[in-house]
Structure 1
């Protein structure tokens, strides 16, 4: 095939085809084209499945090995990678789950996947502070389901913990990597609003005002001190002063 782009598209279509009889055009040599295509197909699908499972470990534990393998293969076929870096592959998996029949049966599955992805992003994010003063690894994942409680139970699948989903409410989870390891904890309404405002690029003082307006009884500035203590907010005096005075 003389057109490289056309051949690449045909290669991808053949490898990801649901029809096992589809072969890669132009494959020659001693090994039959059908066998060569099967080898390529298995290697690619399994490679991306392992990459997805490494990111979505909690999601995989919820549905089981066989189900996750089927989900991963469906996702790879429907959402081929457009980047050579596997670390960025899978960012659309949570949204894709909401449209899949497994995700519709387990309504909380997509939000648990979002929590897995937030952990992955936090692990790989730059160890720096952004303009709002917040650490670049900070993420907030909110759900109408108790995703933090579900996540904790999944970390000990052989344990005796039982979660009654009818007795627990939605949760908001802070995910960050201020030091060597990713840390997670639940957030109350006001603190979640404060972090979200900062993540949208609002200056610290403005984020405090937004959160105080939503929940007047909360000590919002206490969240800033806690974030500094935990390494989630810059503690440099000059930087902090500039953030606090911005747009005040």
Structure 2
């Protein structure tokens, strides 16, 4: 068992190594060990890259194919998958983008990655309700950048258009999948405070107070009616 574990560690180290000359130990056959290792390495890293692209499609559009591949390869080498399910892979991408030399100056990227991971998680979330009757898939993603406008721009990359990130200001985005598709929409300050309070376990009355603190003229009753109608909030009896 010990020998098998040692070989597995050597295999992974060789495949994920950035050193081109490193080979998987014990390979034999008509193809050289160097070529066989390169094939393994390319297939595995490309597989992870495609998996990450499926989750982080907006990031792919924003930084381009070559940069994304470099990021994905570096991510796979730094944070190997611990699950056989590739749908569970990519959780740490927001923090990774914040520190990688190629992307750390693009301050909005980590928040965009948080939005995309929230959407990914919402899609596969359980069909039940949790704290305060909120749907289990619900996330609130908040940023000092206009995430929703930026995400929408990335859905149509061939259309001309620009965004003034500073002029548009911050955003609070509701991410939830009450039915078949993931719903994402920007929230007003009052509605964001209302959802934030409920997610933190505060009572509906406390959520109402929190909403009116940041937006005195808001209508928390309308927030509740909309949430129930959308299937985001379970009707309280």
With normalisation by structure 1, the TM-score equals 0.89
Matches within 5 A, 1:59-70: 59-70=59-70
Matches within 5 A, 1:71-220: 71-220=71-220
Q: Summarize the Cα distance change of 1:10–1:153 in structure 2 as closer, same or farther, 3 Å threshold.
A: same
Conserved? CA contact 1:27–1:33, under 8 Å: yes
Structure 1: distance between partners of 2:126 and 2:35? 43
Structure 2: distance between partners of 1:199 and 1:95? 23
Q: Summarize the Cα distance change of 1:88–1:203 in structure 2 as closer, same or farther, 3 Å threshold.
A: farther
- Report the equivalent of 1:11: 11
Conserved? CA contact 1:127–1:135, under 8 Å: yes
Conserved? CA contact 2:21–2:34, under 8 Å: yes
| Secondary structure of residue in 2 paired with 1:101 | coil
Q: Summarize the Cα distance change of 1:213–1:169 in structure 2 as closer, same or farther, 3 Å threshold.
A: closer
Q: Which ranges of structure 2 fall in alignment gaps of 5 or more residues?
A: none
Q: Summarize the Cα distance change of 1:205–1:6 in structure 2 as closer, same or farther, 3 Å threshold.
A: farther
With normalisation by structure 2, the TM-score equals 0.93
Q: Which ranges of structure 1 fall in alignment gaps of 5 or more residues?
A: 242-248
Per the TM alignment, residue 11 of structure 1 is displaced from its structure 2 partner at its CA by 1.2
Cα root mean square deviation, aligned: 1.7
- Report the equivalent of 1:246: none
Structure 1: distance between partners of 2:40 and 2:204? 51
Conserved? CA contact 1:133–1:204, under 8 Å: no
Q: Summarize the Cα distance change of 1:3–1:207 in structure 2 as closer, same or farther, 3 Å threshold.
A: farther
- Report the equivalent of 1:245: none
Per the TM alignment, residue 192 of structure 1 is displaced from its structure 2 partner at its CA by 1.2
Which segment is superposed worse, 151-160 or 53-62? 151-160
Conserved? CA contact 1:142–1:173, under 8 Å: yes
Conserved? CA contact 2:145–2:166, under 8 Å: no
